[in-house]
Amino acid sequence: MGDLLNSGSATVLALIILGLAALGFALTRRRTVVSVQGDTRRLHSLPAYYGYNAAMLIAVPSLMVIAVWLLVQPVLVQNAVIELIPEEVVAEGSSVGLVMSDVRRVAEGLDSAVAQGAMTVQEAASLDAGATDVRAQLAEIGVALGADVQGPVLAAAQRYRTMTATGRLAMMVTALALALAGFAYAFSRTNADFRARNTVEAGIKALLILAASLAVLTTVGIVLSMLFESINFFRLHDWKDFFLGRSWAPNFRGDSDLSILPLLWGTLYISIIALAVAVPIGLFAAIYLSEYASSTVRSFAKPLLEILAGIPTIVYGLFALLTVGPFLVKIFGRGEDGLLGVDWMSGATSVLTAGLVMGIMLIPFVSSLSDDIINAVPQSLRDGSFGLGATHSETIRQVVLPAALPGIVGAVLLAASRAIGETMIVVLGAGAIARISGNPLEAMTTITTRIVSQLTGDTDFASPETLVAFALGLTLFVLTLGLNVLALYIVRKYREQYE
């Protein structure tokens, strides 16, 4: 029992419950078959359904209780324990979080001391910081502490231990009781007329709904957390400057210009260049692959394109910084030494560098989506066009592409939202200077790179310079969400028109 209370206890408990579920399955199933003297045709459902029903009733509620308990208990215990720690201790130890982690370490130390037999349970519970050197005692058994243990911390740790232990015990009892109750209920309800098949169906539906709502809740949670931090930001910083200002100049001593416009401009400019590269090339590649290429060409060209899609974006970033950037400088820069003899470009990082490389990254994305969409256009439409004496390219232009258009527009918008959210390529390829300029050979910066730079290094989550990252992130999210909604809207509109 003592072992069970330690870290692995939840897993062991879950295994026990699963074992119970398996047992419940077997016993209930048997009981059902026996109840009709083996003539299973008299049962409402197949015997296994009675088993599934029992297993579900045993496992699902109890496992859910365990999951919720494991999430909630630490919060409750921590809140209770924090009251024991006077404010002076917190002041010295810099923050409540740090003190609490001390408390947890001491508690774990005591646990392992008890487990190794270095202390009895009573000794651990009645330890006194004034009388014994707790740090030395714990060091003996291999638990190193950063500082001497102060009285309140030790007391808190002891409280933490007892509360955790009681909590765990209560959890085990509740979960097991629930499992057994489920077992008993399912077992007693099992008779030939019980509609186990329908109950299992309802149970499965409930599980699926649970999974779907967890996914949705996570999204909502992410958005809410961004929203709250953004609200904090707008308390500290004027929203007019953020949305309408003209300059981005963060200054960690305060009083910064934090306007999104220069960043948005960089983001959109780079994305447009990227799409200008990716959409024609990707679309033409898709048309070639799906309409003209023989199956042999297809069988090696498609995987090759898909390899392009598998390259990590940081590698594209390196490609931008080390290959494309210097190449562009060779063409457009270096004055007399350059290929064009002009000096328009000074550094390797520029809007054009990032845009080109991002375009290359998006080619396989656009082409494989368009390829699927073009392939989904029914062959009968092509036949109809050929049958009227149209050539292949006439057929593609006038029948296949219009039919595939909504899907292709959707693909382009999806590519656009990827371009807008892309980070690594612009971190390395676009530069760090926020400005609004039409010259693609200049370095500019994007929303994503600024989020990265505002959150790296020393950050203080109470200053607008850090919190602005959340406002930027939220804006980015709204932007890509808007694009996706638009994509869906367009697709649906065309669907209505042609289906």
Binding site for another protein (CB under 8 A): 295, 378, 380-391, 394, 398-399, 402-403, 497-499
Between 218 and 398, whose beta carbon lies closer to another protein? Answer: 398
Q: Which of 356, 358, 360, 350 minimizes the C-alpha distance to 440?
A: 350
The smaller minimum CB distance to another protein, of residues 399 and 451, is found at 399
Contact 286, 412 (CB under 8 A): no
Class of residue 39 by CB neighbours under 10 A (exposed 0-12, middle 13-18, buried 19+): exposed
Name the residue nearer to another protein (CB basis): 272 or 381.
Answer: 381
- Looking at the Cβ atoms of 385 and 445, the one nearer to another protein is 385
For 309, the token pair is 């899609």
Q: Which is nearer to another protein, 32 or 385 (CB)?
A: 385
What is the nearest approach in angstroms of another protein to the Cβ of residue 49? 42
Q: Closest distance between another protein and the C-beta of residue 373, in Å?
A: 13
Tell me which DSSP letter residue 343 carries. Answer: -
**Residue 380: CB minimum distance to another protein, A:** 4
Q: How far is CA 191 from the centre of its chain?
A: 46
Least spacing, CB of residue 237 vs another protein, in Å: 51
160: left (phi over 0), alpha (psi -120 to 50) or beta: alpha
Q: Which is nearer to another protein, 385 or 475 (CB)?
A: 385
Give, as one character, the DSSP assignment of residue 41: G
Q: Which is nearer to another protein, 177 or 388 (CB)?
A: 388
Q: Which is nearer to another protein, 302 or 382 (CB)?
A: 382
User: 193 with 44: CB under 8 angstroms?
Assistant: yes
Identify which of residues 223 and 405 has a Cβ nearer to another protein in the complex.
405
Nearest approach in angstroms of CB 462 to another protein is: 57
Q: Smallest distance from the beta carbon of 490 to another protein, in angstroms?
A: 15
Determine how β-strand 248-249 pairs with β-strand 257-258. antiparallel
Q: Is the dihedral of CA 282, 285, 291, 297 positive or negative?
A: negative
Distance between CA atoms of 356 and 363, rounded to whole angstroms?
Answer: 11
* DSSP code for 458: S
Cα 352 to Cα 333: distance, rounded to the nearest angstrom: 13
Contact 463, 483 (CB under 8 A): no
Minimum distance between the CB of residue 382 and another protein, rounded to whole angstroms? 7
Provide, rounded to whole angstroms, the least separation between the CB of residue 401 and another protein: 11
3-state SS, residue 246: coil
**Residue-by-residue DSSP string for 184-237:** HHHHHH--TT--HHHHHHHHHHHHHHHHHHHHHHHHHHHHHHHHHHHHHHHHHS
Minimum CB–partner distance for residue 395 and another protein (Å)? 10
Query: Which C-beta is closer to another protein: that of 126 or that of 391?
Result: 391
DSSP string covering 345-396 = B-SS--HHHHHHHHHHHHHHHHHHHHHHHHHHS-HHHHHHHHHTT--HHHHI
Smaller CB distance to another protein: residue 97 or 384?
384
Nearest approach in angstroms of CB 303 to another protein is 20
Spell out the residues 6+ positions from residue 123 whose beta carbon is closer than 8 angstroms to its own: none
- Give me the amino acid identity at 368: S
Question: Could you tell me the smallest distance in angstroms from the CB atom of residue 386 to another protein?
Answer: 6
